[in-house]
Amino acid sequence: MVDKLDKSNEAWQAELDEQRFAVCRLKATERPFTGAYCDTKTPGVYQCFCCAHPLFDSQSKFDSGCGWPSFFAPINEQALATAEDLSHGMQRVEVLCARCDAHLGHVFPDGPAPTGLRYCINSVCLQLIPRDA
């Protein structure tokens, strides 16, 4: 079980820049192919920018060609939460940080083996902690 971090939107707005607040707290999306981690190959752990909760290991990152960092699995079963997203006239599965409920992106059933999933994640929601070589 993950210890939840509960902050008001006003507190988050004071801590995050405008784009991060819009994406992480208001469920916006960064433009494709513009994020810092879209093409990154650096080994390490991707954590939530808002609360530093570990989310993905770089070993699960792959190039999906979609314009956002893509992963086939979270770092562990407690890393993420999901919610139904019916916005924009579509039915999708929203991906959230399990600790602070930051909107991260969406998960789709068109990823590679072994999971068949594609976690399509906004770069601004992530912070890469490089692994010592």
Q: Catalytic pick from 48, 51, 120, 125?
A: 120
Task: Report the amino acid identity of residue 79.
Answer: A
In contact, 23 and 125? CB cutoff 8 Å: yes
Q: CA-to-CA distance for 40 and 69, rounded, in angstroms? A: 8
Give catalytic status of residue 38 as yes or no.
no
What are the phi and psi torsion angles at 54 (to 5°)? -65, 130
| Residue positions annotated with a catalytic role | 120
